[in-house]
Amino acid sequence: MNYTLQCMGCHTPDGAGVPDRVPSIRQTLLPFARMPEGRKFLVQVPGAAQSTLSNAELAVLLNWMIENLSAEHGDFKRFTEAEVASYRPNALVEVRATRERLLASQAPAAAAPAQPPSQGQ
C-alpha cells in the first residue's frame, strides 16, 4: 500500500518509471542497496526523505521495493529504522548528479573482463 501511495505515481506500478522523466528503479535498487553511498541515496531522494512515512515504515518500504521490484534478485542488507533515521535528515540536493555518479561507480566493476585462472592454481 505504501508503494502505491508514495511512489507509484512517478515510478509506475512495476518501477519502470517514465522514460526521460522519471528513472526506472528496477535496475538500480539492488545494486544501490549494496553500496554505502547507494543506501544513503535511496533514503535521501526527495520522494523518500520527504514522504509522510515514519523511518520504520520507510525502511520496510525500501526493503519491499528491493525484493519485489528489482530486475535482479539477491542478498542485501535490509534497511533498518535506525539507518533510515541516520540518513534522512540530510537533504539530497543534486539528485540527478548523485544518481549518475553512483551509476558510473558501478560501471568499472560491471565492465571489467573476467580474469582467466592463473597457471598452476
pLDDT per position as a tens digit, 26-73: 999 999 999 999 999 999 999 899 999 999 999 999 999 999 999 988
Query: What is the rounded average pLDDT for all residues in the chain?
Result: 85
Q: Which pLDDT value is given to residue 106?
A: 84
The whole-angstrom separation of Cα 58 and Cα 64 is 10
Q: Which pLDDT value is given to residue 56?
A: 97
pTM score above 0.75: yes
The answer on pLDDT for 114 being more than 90 is no
Cell of 18: 517514465
Q: Delimit the domains of the chain by residue range.
A: 2-99
In CATH, what number does 2-99 get? 1.10.760.10
Burial class (CB in 10 A: 0-12, 13-18, 19+), 79: buried
